[in-house]
Structure 1
């Protein structure tokens, strides 16, 4: 079952859709459940709602599995042909990335701090108050820029998230800054951190080699900071929801078993 409602991301004063997946047992039991927060919520469940017509099919996967958890999907900002998504998922500004990705002479990023602040200080308390959650069993996952902002959230708020999955991450968007944050952070509750990258990733002029190198650098830092860290380089994997859907069994086995 998926419930949908609107919220206002207060620090940015933007309205957004939130989709909440509830496990099949939710309304027939009094159990409490772990919560997984995910970005690009419109791409999580159904192809017809997804930006590129391809969804993670998260509901189908969980319904057919033994994993019982609540998934909170936050839609991305699609204003200005998706450029605002880069702003919200980029914790720090990048003055050069526009030319590299889209041949645009613009600065992107810098709003990720407020976006994560909203999740931690407003959305999470709302979800914990209105659903039967286990408040101290909170995970976050995302892909591409969603992987960057998930990693930022994990290490900026090291007492909040205990499981992280960062797929095909666009660390290169804020490479220097995210490396510095991880190096300086002392996470206390992160139990498991999964990250991966495909050998056929590409975004504009950012090629697969840049994706792989970028993720390898973060893995070397993260593995010394968390209890369990897993890094996969996936041969032939491309940069899309179909590829990420195929990795769900391995990701959930690592995070929740």
Structure 2
């Protein structure tokens, strides 16, 4: 069951839709559920709402597998996506990919504050949630902002899953933040990256993978349960991302579909 509700984001001074998936047994059984927060909400659940027409088809996957989890998809503001998903403005490393300097980014701090201070309390107060069992997942820049959220609020986002993360936009700063943050509360991190993220632009694909490997090398030293997968031939598109949907739920126990 998918609910779509308008939500005013005071920290960003704008309204957008929040898409809330409830498990099939939500109205039948009186139990509480872990919550997974995801970005790019239009592209999470259904193709007909997706930007570009291709989504993760997460509603279908969750219904078919009967996973006991609430998933909250936050719609993107396409015009502000880079600004909201990047905690800092772009630095020198990003020029390898962009070929120029960029002043985009810097509103990721407000975006994460919205999730923590406005959205999560709303979800916890209006739905049956396991308030202490909160995960976050993101794709591309959504992976960057998810990693930032984990570092800023490790007591809240104890499990994250990130696919084909565009760390390069804030590579220097996100590496520093991971290194200086106490991540002892984090339970699990899953990250992956394709070998053809940039399609035929081989040099960019190599750099993209190197960017993700660098983050993994830092994370694995601080979080024992960190897993990194290199997906051969995978490109940076939703058909490739859809194939990895099960990876988004590595924080769930296979036996009980609940948190470890």
Cα distance between partner residues in 1 of 2:15 and 2:154: 27
Shift of residue 29, structure 1, vs aligned partner? 1.1
In structure 1, the partner of 2:209 is: 212
In structure 2, the partner of 1:244 is: 241
Cα distance between partner residues in 2 of 1:249 and 1:98: 30
Cα distance between partner residues in 2 of 1:6 and 1:99: 37
Tell me the TM-score normalised to structure 2 length: 0.91
SS at match of 1:223: helix
The answer to whether structure 1 residue 133 and structure 2 residue 123 are counterparts is no
Structure 2 residue runs without a partner (length 5+): 254-260
The answer to whether structure 1 residue 86 and structure 2 residue 77 are counterparts is no
Cα distance between partner residues in 1 of 2:200 and 2:20: 32
Cα distance between partner residues in 2 of 1:204 and 1:101: 14
SS at match of 2:56: coil
1:181-221 Cα offsets, whole Å, 9 max, x none, are 00001124311100000001029978211111001000011
1:148-206 Cα offsets, whole Å, 9 max, x none, are 00000001111111210011000010000000000001124311100000001029978
Cα distance between partner residues in 1 of 2:237 and 2:23: 25
Tell me the TM-score normalised to structure 1 length: 0.92
The structure 2 residue matched to 1:235, chosen from 199, 224, 232, is 232
In structure 1, the partner of 2:45 is: 45
In structure 1, the partner of 2:70 is: 70
Distance 1:173 1:117, change over 3 A: same
Cα distance between partner residues in 2 of 1:204 and 1:148: 24
1:58-81 Cα offsets, whole Å, 9 max, x none, are 1111111142100000011112xx
Contact 1:161 1:189 in 2 (8 A): no
Deviates more, 1:25-34 or 1:237-246: 237-246
The answer to whether structure 1 residue 156 and structure 2 residue 152 are counterparts is yes
Distance 1:3 1:63, change over 3 A: same
Contact 1:97 1:108 in 2 (8 A): no
The structure 2 residue matched to 1:111, chosen from 102, 107, 125, is 107
Distance 1:218 1:106, change over 3 A: closer
Cα distance between partner residues in 1 of 2:168 and 2:102: 17
Distance 1:22 1:201, change over 3 A: same
Cα distance between partner residues in 2 of 1:41 and 1:160: 20
Contact 2:179 2:218 in 1 (8 A): yes
Deviates more, 1:232-241 or 1:219-228: 219-228
